[in-house]
Amino acid sequence: MSHNPMSFPANFFWGGAIAANQAEGAYNLGGKGLSVADINRFRDDVAIQQKSNKEMDTEEINFALNDSEGYYPKRYGIDFYHSYPQDLKLLAGSGMNAFRTSISWARIFPKGDEQEPNEEGLAFYDRLFDEIIKNGMEPLITLSHYEMPLHLATAYGGWSNRKVIDFFVKFATTVLKRYQGKINYWLLVNQMNLITHESFNHLGIPADMVDNLVQAKYQGAHNELVACSRIIKAGKEIDPAMQIGMMAYYGNCAPASSRSEDLLAALQYNQMEYFYSDILVRGSYPAYANRFFDELGVTIEFGEHDREDFRHTVDFVSFSYYYTRLVSAESIKTSEPAMINPQLETNEWGWGIDPIGLRIALNEYYDRYQLPIMVTENGMGFVETLNEQLTIDDDYRIDFLRQHIEQLLEAIKDGVEVIGYYPWGPIDIVSCSSSEMSKRYGFIYVDLDDYGRGSGARHLKKSYRWYQQVTSSNGAILTLD
């Protein structure tokens, strides 16, 4: 009888994850075009829990393009475009042997529909990837992380238009060829199932350009899945050894009670959370989706070769894990079906802290797919201020991550093939959902406020030294000496 591992594998990826649109800045340098993220305005006139991206229409887009008073933090990020050599050296100093970031689509094809790519953008990522590798870290690169060229949204209606399939495939094959041999691990689309809270950021569909936004979203998701399948095929033709993975947001819900009605609601809710990965892993539309779309009144239009395209599947799966929620037979019928578990401690943004949920998520994914798994985002944002020693004693972050890594190891002992763990935002960056700097995730403090004011200096937090100990011990030591 064989036995499951009792420790992290020797070649485990201890990483960290950021995104181009939240870190790079330089929105108007190097030939870059505007992306959908560049029109995310920071708002300080709403409650902290309500700061989130939303659907946008052309009037709101035009307002952002002509607004000279509002602040749009993702245009500036933390200036990673210029500071990456110093930042990567600091990140590598934490003991990371892997680093996840994305390629800004709008930096390679500024409008998205050009015939030729922007060489300045390609050259920038050559330098960036060389620097990652030079610092002893394995790059994990996301092709689409809320960085669609804005022109594809305003001129084509984003992913609701099948023409965008070809634009994305062209972008992807361009970079897959360019960085062949440098990048061994690729992710297709960030948090692909998150089409509600990141609707415009993800799919780029202006609400007033379509007759039925719900229909357009699901058709857009279908089109994006077709593009991903074609990219997998192209990637394997470029380099059969290339590892291409999918990424989901772990949004599964537990039943709000032991009622059978709530158990069924959780089952049905979670099925559609798996919809995207089921296609990219199993290679065909799941039957449960047919009834879901019928009852929703949505009709998915298939292209002639879509079903054949879906046969090209991923090598590994990954997901972000932040918190868990509940669903009931009543709430599933509403526009906001998921509810925070009242038994869990929450942070200032109302996110429930649930380390054991990570073990559950890993087992669920592995039971379903039997493919290697990476946890490509995990973290919790906190409001922080430097102390007199120019550091932060962030024991709360250490405790949060320690508990999740403990459950990660338990999943490995369960027999789950986990190959990597990437805490989100190992250096402070602009928040995805709320476009603020004050929601901080990092081991490294960046001296910028919500309006980009500050020195920009980097300062190491207590958690930085803790992560050094975790990585150097390959996860064997999780308490700080």
Please spell the DSSP secondary structure of 150-162, one letter per residue.
HHHHHHH-GGGST
CATH code at 184?
3.20.20.80
How many distinct structural domains can be found in the chain? 1
The per-residue pLDDT for 52 is 53
The per-residue pLDDT for 335 is 85
* CB within 8 Å of 382: residues ≥ 6 apart: 347, 348, 394, 396, 397, 439, 440, 441
The per-residue pLDDT for 347 is 82
By percentage, how much of the chain surpasses pLDDT 90?
91
Position 12 pLDDT exceeds 50:
yes
Confidence of residue 462 (pLDDT cuts 50, 70, 90): very high
In a domain, 136, yes or no: yes
Confidence of residue 251 (pLDDT cuts 50, 70, 90): very high
In a domain, 3, yes or no: no
Position 50 pLDDT exceeds 90:
no
Confidence of residue 107 (pLDDT cuts 50, 70, 90): very high
Confidence of residue 431 (pLDDT cuts 50, 70, 90): very high
Identify the sign of the CA torsion 363, 369, 370, 375.
negative
* Confidence (pTM): 0.96
Q: How many CB atoms lie under 10 A from the CB of residue 398?
A: 21
In a domain, 479, yes or no: no
pLDDT (tens digit per residue) in 374-427:
999 999 999 999 999 999 999 999 999 999 999 999 999 999 999 999 999 999
Q: How far apart are CA 391 and CA 307, in angstroms?
A: 54
In a domain, 2, yes or no: no
What is the amino acid identity at position 37? A
Position 125 pLDDT exceeds 90:
yes
Q: How far apart are CA 204 and CA 180, in angstroms?
A: 29
In a domain, 460, yes or no: yes
HSE-up (13 A, CA, CB side) for residue 121: 25
Position 258 pLDDT exceeds 60:
yes
Q: Which alpha helices (DSSP H) does 157-212 contain, by range?
A: 163-178, 199-203
The per-residue pLDDT for 49 is 45
Q: How many CB atoms lie under 10 A from the CB of residue 152?
A: 26
In a domain, 32, yes or no: yes
pLDDT (tens digit per residue) in 162-189:
999 999 999 999 999 999 999 999 999 9
The answer to whether residues 104 and 171 touch, using CB atoms and an 8 Å cutoff, is: no
> Quick one: which of 209, 204, 223, 247 has its CA closest to 38?
204
In a domain, 229, yes or no: yes
In a domain, 477, yes or no: no
Range of the domain at 258: 13-472
